[in-house]
Chain A
Amino acid sequence: DQQVKQNSPSLSVQEGRISILNCDYTNSMFDYFLWYKKYPAEGPTFLISISSIKDKNEDGRFTVFLNKSAKHLSLHIVPSQPGDSAVYFCAARANRDDKIIFGKGTRLHILP
């Protein structure tokens, strides 16, 4: 039972354009959402997060949007750069002390 779903296994975007990665969740108890980035042969690294009391959080080129009514969040990367090519994991947590649930990931390819 996938509580965090990333339905696009891969995405290709032209360098300089916007990359939009989507994530859906089923558990209405989730109160905190995170995005991780993973390069081959490395562990995931934290990218950006958002609390359920907000609908947007921005950090440089990265913005996460949360639509609680639709149980949907998205990560926007503008402008996309070659170094953004990686696997991106959406993750969620039900409360402060609960474990983090990860989606299956989306592989982002930035094309020259």
Chain B
Amino acid sequence: DAGVTQSPTHLIKTRGQQVTLRCSPKSGHDTVSWYQQALGQGPQFIFQYYEEEERQRGNFPDRFSGHQFPNYSSELNVNALLLGDSALYLCASSFGLAGGILGETQYFGPGTRLLVL
């Protein structure tokens, strides 16, 4: 049973570019949450997707957007990249909307490390 998978593992972009990160949830999970972990910081909640809709959002600008597909996989898009967007981007999956926020039912992927030059 594959856990949460994310692609790519590493990515280098330049300022102003756009990036798309991908996440496949753990089998049986239907909710996906995205987090940004900057160097030396803890993960910060970006947004959560359930039934192909954004259900909750953290304090991130509109440059950060997402999508969830019918197979529950998800994408995180970041436009007009800034140097400060360099971070580890974590995807977490869970079952059900309420369970999506209950920390203990969330399974995290290994993350995508994004470097913006």
Contacts and interface: CB of A to CB of B under 8 A. Distances in A.
Interface of A: 4, 6, 9, 32, 34, 36, 41-46, 49, 89, 91, 93, 96-105
Contact of A43 (B56, B98, B105, B108): B108
Interface string B79-117: 000000000001010000110011111111111000000
A69 B48 CA distance: 32
Can you list the 8 inter-chain pairs with the closest CB atoms, starting with the nearest?
A43-B108, A102-B42, A99-B45, A34-B103, A46-B104, A102-B43, A44-B108, A104-B42
Q: How large is the interface on B (under 10, 10 to 19, 20 to 34, 35 or more residues)?
A: 20 to 34
Contact of B40 (A43, A97, A100, A104): A104
Of the candidates B43, B44, B105, the one having the most CB atoms from chain A within 10 angstroms of its own CB is B43
Contact of B109 (A34, A43, A49, A101): A43
